[in-house]
Amino acid sequence: MVKKCIYCKNEIPESSVIDFCKRCGVGVWGEKMFQAIVESMEKSRDDGDLFQGSVSDTIDASYARQTKSWMR
């Protein structure tokens, strides 16, 4: 599936850590802030903090059952 900019709908690389193109990002936040956002997001990706999988994929099933008991 092709990834598209949320603002202008132009295609962006699938590996992009942001959901907007450089032109739109710079237009919204300015050059310095855009670069800071990209660098921060890339660092988070490299550190493994951007995993967007299901919570059940990362938590043991028995642990999940234990933590849900407080909701009853």
> Hunting for tokens 């407080």 — which residue is that?
70
> In which band, very low, low, confident or very high, does the pLDDT at 62 lie, cut at 50, 70 and 90?
low
Whose CA is closest to 16, among 27, 4, 31, 8? 4
SS3 letters across the chain: CCEECCCCCCEECCCCCCCCCHHHHHHHHCHHHHHHHHHHHHHHHHHCCCCCCCHHHHCCHHHHHHHHHHHC
Confidence tier at 69 by pLDDT (50, 70, 90): very low
- Domain range spanning residue 57? 3-71
Q: Are 4 and 10 in contact (CB under 8 A)?
A: yes
Q: pLDDT by residue (tens digit) across 12-50?
A: 999 899 999 999 999 999 999 999 999 999 998 888 887
| Total structural domains within the chain | 1
